[in-house]
Amino acid sequence: MTSPDHAVGSACWFDLGVADIDAAAAFYRDLFGWVVTESDQAGYRLASSNGQLIAGFGPAEDPPPPYWTVYLRTADISASLRDVAAAGGTVLVPPTAAGDAGTSATVCGPAGAPLSFWQPSSHLGTATTGGHGTVSGVRLCTGSPDKAGAFLGAALGWRMCPDGTIDHHGRTVATWARTSSVDLAHWLVRFRVTDPVASRRRALELGACPTDEGPDILLDPAGAVFGLAPLG
C-alpha cells in the first residue's frame, strides 16, 4: 500500500456521518467500486479502492442533513485550535483520539462550513495516487467569501484567490465558489470517475438526486452533497 503524502495544511481525510451507515456504504460501494470494511466497535467503516484507503463512514453526530467532513492535516492540533479561536472560530469538538490512528477535532468559522483537523499517528490519510473513486479535491461553497477568506487566512494561512483557487504557501489546497445564500456554506468533496456522464446516471439509479449547482454535483440518498470529476 502506498503511503499518502499530505502536506500540513492540506485536506488529508474525508468521512461521512450518517444515520444509516450500511445504506450509505452500499451506495458509494456500488457507485465507485469501493471495498468497505465491517463496522468497528464505534460503528466506523473504512472504504478503500485497489487496496488504498479512500474515506470512512461513521455514526451521525450532527443534526441532518449529513455532510462529508473534510479533515486538514496538522502537526500540532492544539496549536491549530488556538489559531482558530484567535481568528474568531469556534471549537465544536475538542481533540479526540481515534485509537492509535491519530487525533481529530472539529471547528467552525464565522461564515459556517465546519472543518476538522487530523494529527496523524498510524493513519496518514486518503490515497493520493488517483484513479476511479479517489478524491479529486474539495471546494468551499460560501455566500460570504470575504468573511470566509478572512477567517481561513487568519486561522490556516490560506488565501482565497480571485481565480477560485485557495492557496497555502504556494500550493493549491482547495477551490471556492460563491453560493446564492449565506446560509448554505459547505464543503464539496469531489470524486474522480472514468466517465462522469455514466457515473451520474448510475448515481441517480441508486437513489441520488440532482442539484442546482451543476450536473456533476449530486445529493446522495441520505442528503449529503458530493461531486463527480473526470480523471486527469
For residue 1, the model assigns a pLDDT of 36
For residue 177, the model assigns a pLDDT of 94
Phi, psi of 195 (to 5 degrees): -140, 95
For residue 45 the three cell numbers come to 467503516
pTM over 0.85: yes
Question: Could you report the per-residue pLDDT of 38-64, keeping only the tens digit for each?
Answer: 999 888 999 999 899 999 999 988 778
Q: Which of 63, 57, 71, 61 is nearest to 26 (CA)?
A: 57
494529527: which residue's cell? Answer: 119
* Domain locations along the chain: 11-230
For residue 2, the model assigns a pLDDT of 41
Give me the residues of the chain with pLDDT under 50, please: 1-2
CATH superfamily of 11-230: 2,3-Dihydroxybiphenyl 1,2-Dioxygenase, domain 1 (3.10.180.10)
